Amino acid sequence: MEQRFIFKNRKPRLDVFHTVWQAPSNIALIKYWGKTAPQLPKNASLSFTLSDAFTQTAVTFKPLKTPTETVSFRIVFEGEEKPSFRPKLETFFEQIVLYQSFLLHYTLEISSHNTFPHSSGIASSASSMAALAACLMDLEAQLSPMSEDLKKEKTSFLARLGSGSASRSIQGPMMAWGAHEAIPHSSDLVAVGVDAIHPVFQSYCDTILLVDKGQKQVSSTLGHQLMHNHPYAEQRFAQANRQLKNLVPVLQSGDLDAFIPIVEKEALDLHAMMMTSDPYFILMQPNTLHIIQAIWSFRTKTNIPVCFTLDAGANVHVLYPKNVAKEVMAFIESDLLSFCENRQCVHDRVGVGIKKA
Ligand code: DP6
């Protein structure tokens, strides 16, 4: 138990409290893949916080006459009650009630929607858990006033217990999660902001190419588990930490020639772990590879510093600095959209983190 995150005020507020928060998705440059209980990462990870791909969550906390044993809630997603979302949320509440005992004095009406297309294959657990954690922390701050810094820190802490990558959606432009010598104050418990980022990265663009909008055949949760008996796991964790160490000075200097190979290698290392686990699996699709090849040829031909990364799916994140956005968007339109389902993509960029709506 993390003592400093335990809610201590014993008097729950009794009136109805309603709050609405937005939290963005994030895209990892150094990937988190492998964890131990309670949701602690096997290596440090680092991501760009996104802007337009976000979840908006409203929570109405209604006081109860007698406290319950487990957190009482209803979940509505995009206008519909979602029983299928309950197990993940029940597990989340079981974990966090130790830190927010006041939740047992309320029933929660949670209503949530995403700005990105439904079933787009864009990871929604990061933005949805971060948005919910922000709502819960808003009530906690009413019950027991705290500094903004502590509030953000505990938001990341709670979000992490819901989904590891959600810990990194709280602030922008970049966050790192997992104790690492190159990141001051870094921790396995919460994500921290990465300081002194070169201006080029503060307005970086990410176009998400929707190659496969279907349900993934293998969930991230299972993928993380398969790292337990993975023959290359220890080398992978050490390598991710090394790549993060190499990336930090590059983020400060803005050296894009050094940035690109680290980022692309991380994406391929992540997928190499999937292909070599037992059972093995492949989340890339033929069109994922077509896109990667097209990005490489375009970069060689034009010298424009565009690169790709992948998360746990077939979609491709195309990363590029803002000053070449016009040329890259024209290239995406002419050469890449044909590899996407219904030519769909989401143009996003680096953002600032959670916001009260
Ligand atoms: C490939 O955070 O979705 O996107 O902690 O089980 O909810 P859980 O997993 P999740 O894993 C994200 C994996 C990744 C890499 C990353 O975002 O770092």
Least confident of 145-159, 201-215, 227-241: 201-215
Q: How far is the CA of 336 from the centre of ligand 1 (A)?
A: 26
Q: Average pLDDT, whole number, for the chain?
A: 95
Are the C-beta atoms of residues 50 and 350 closer than 8 Å to each other? yes
Mutate to test the pocket of ligand 1, among 50, 165, 169, 241 (most ligand atoms within 8 A of CB): 165
Mutate to test the pocket of ligand 1, among 125, 174, 220 (most ligand atoms within 8 A of CB): 220
**What pLDDT shows up at residue 9?**
78
Domain containing residue 309: CATH number: 3.30.70.890
Q: Which atom of ligand 1 is nearest to the CA of 221?
A: 6
**What pLDDT shows up at residue 8?**
85
Verify that 273 and 235 share a domain, yes or no: yes
Q: How far is the CA of 17 from the centre of ligand 1 (A)?
A: 31
Q: Which atom of ligand 1 is nearest to the CA of 224?
A: 6
Per-residue pLDDT tens digits for 271-325 = 999 999 999 999 999 999 999 999 999 999 999 999 999 999 999 999 999 999 9
Are the C-beta atoms of residues 204 and 194 closer than 8 Å to each other? no
CA distance 260 to 274: 22
Strands 72-77 and 106-114: parallel
Q: How far is the CA of 49 from the centre of ligand 1 (A)?
A: 14
Verify that 213 and 308 share a domain, yes or no: yes
Average pLDDT over residues 235-242: 98
pLDDT at 239 > cutoff 70: yes
Verify that 165 and 233 share a domain, yes or no: no
Domain containing residue 40: CATH number: 3.30.230.10
Verify that 190 and 237 share a domain, yes or no: no
pLDDT band at 219 (very low <50, low <70, confident <90, very high): confident
Tell me, yes or no, whether 232 lies in a domain.
yes
Q: How far is the CA of 221 from the centre of ligand 1 (A)?
A: 8
Average pLDDT over residues 214-233: 89
CA distance 119 to 214: 6
pLDDT at 27 > cutoff 90: yes
Q: Which residue stretches of the chain are H helix?
A: 86-96, 125-143, 148-162, 199-202, 220-225, 233-253, 256-275, 286-302, 325-331
- Supply the range of the domain harboring residue 193: 3-197
Average pLDDT over residues 171-198: 97
Q: Which residue type does 203 have?
A: S
pLDDT at 119 > cutoff 70: no
**What pLDDT shows up at residue 118?**
67
Backbone angles phi, psi at 180, to 5 degrees: -155, 135
Q: Count the domains in the chain.
A: 2
pLDDT band at 16 (very low <50, low <70, confident <90, very high): very high
pLDDT band at 148 (very low <50, low <70, confident <90, very high): very high
Q: How far is the CA of 19 from the centre of ligand 1 (A)?
A: 27
From 197, 216, 242, the end of a domain falls on 197
Where does residue 148 rank: exposed (0-12), middle (13-18), buried (19+ CB within 10 A)?
Answer: exposed
**What pLDDT shows up at residue 316?**
97
Tell me, yes or no, whether 35 lies in a domain.
yes
Verify that 218 and 286 share a domain, yes or no: yes
CA distance 105 to 348: 39
pLDDT at 270 > cutoff 90: yes
pLDDT band at 57 (very low <50, low <70, confident <90, very high): very high
Verify that 308 and 335 share a domain, yes or no: yes
pLDDT band at 12 (very low <50, low <70, confident <90, very high): low
CB under 8 Å to 69, separation ≥6 — which residues? 104
From 166, 181, 197, the end of a domain falls on 197
Tell me, yes or no, whether 46 lies in a domain.
yes
Does the pTM surpass 0.75? The reply is: yes
The rounded percent of the chain whose pLDDT value lies above 70 is 97
Q: Which atom of ligand 1 is nearest to the CA of 270?
A: 1
pLDDT band at 249 (very low <50, low <70, confident <90, very high): very high
